[in-house]
A and B are shown apart, each in its own frame.
Chain A
Amino acid sequence: QITLKESGPALVKPTQTLALTCTFSGFSLSSRGVGVGWIRQPPGKALEWLGLFHWDDDTRYSPSLKRRITITKDTSKNQVVLTMTNMDPVDTATYFCVHRPEMATTRGGFDVWGPGIMVTVSS
C-alpha cells in the first residue's frame, strides 16, 4: 500500500524559506518511471502543480515558480523535500505531495495523494 505524508511548519513569515518533507512508503523512487510531485491549493482555489521529482533524478518545475523552488530526495529516508524561498502571503495554501506511477499506468495521473499540510504565510 502506497502512502505519503507531508510535514513541516504550519506558519512561516514573509521572506522566509519554507521546507516541507514528504515521507513515503510502499514504493521505491528508484523504480523506473515513478515520480513524486508537489501540488498546492490556496483556500477555495484551484490546484496548482509545483514540480515533479522523477526516478532518474530528473526534476521538473513549474516555470512560474522555478526560481523559488527546489525538490530533492533523501533515498535513505524515503523522503522528498520541497524548498520554497521568499515566501509571500499569496503562497498560503495546502501543500500536497503525490505519487505518480510510470506513464503507462495512469498516463500521468497522480494516483495517491498525501493528506496535505496547510501552510500560512503571515507576519
Chain B
Amino acid sequence: DIQMTQSPSSLSASVGDRVTITCRASQSITNYLNWYQQKPGQAPKLLIYAASNLQSGVPSRFSGSGSGTEFTLTISSLQPEDFAVYHCQQSYSNSPLTFGPGTKVGIE
C-alpha cells in the first residue's frame, strides 16, 4: 500500500493568514495527488486534483504544488469559511487508493 502522511495534524490560524499543509507519500506518485476540504457533518469536497489543478468553482486562494512524494496545499489568505479538515489522496495506485489522516484548520 502507498501510505500517505500529513503535517501538521492540526493548526490554528487567523483570518487573513497564509496556511500551508504538507502531504507525503511513501513512494513516488508523480502528480496523482488530490486535496479535499471537509466541513463538519458534510461530505468532502474536491479542491485540487493532479497536485496543482484547481477544481472548477474553487476559490483561487487555494493552490497546490509538488510532485513525487511531497506535496503542499496553500491557502493564501484564510477566510472564515476555510476552517475545516483537509485530506490528501493518492490516485496513482488503486490497490488501494489511500487518503492521508487529515489536517484540521482551526480558529486561533
Residues of A within 8 A of B (CB): 37, 46-49, 52, 60-64, 96, 106-111, 113-116
What would be 19 A-B contacts, judged by CB atoms less than 8 Å apart? A46-B101, A49-B98, A52-B94, A63-B1, A63-B96, A96-B43, A106-B46, A106-B53, A107-B32, A108-B92, A108-B94, A109-B46, A109-B89, A109-B91, A110-B44, A110-B89, A111-B46, A113-B45, A116-B43
Query: For A60, what are the chain B residues with a Cβ–Cβ distance below 8 Å?
Result: 94-95
The verdict on A47 contacting B44 (CB below 8 Å), with A106-B49, A107-B49, A108-B97 known, is yes
Which bucket holds chain B's interface residue count?
20 to 34
Mostly helix, strand, loop or mixed at chain A's interface?
A: loop
Contact (Cβ within 8 A) A48 B34: no
Q: B71: CB under 8 A from chain A?
A: no
Contact (Cβ within 8 A) B99 A108: no
Contact (Cβ within 8 A) B32 A114: no
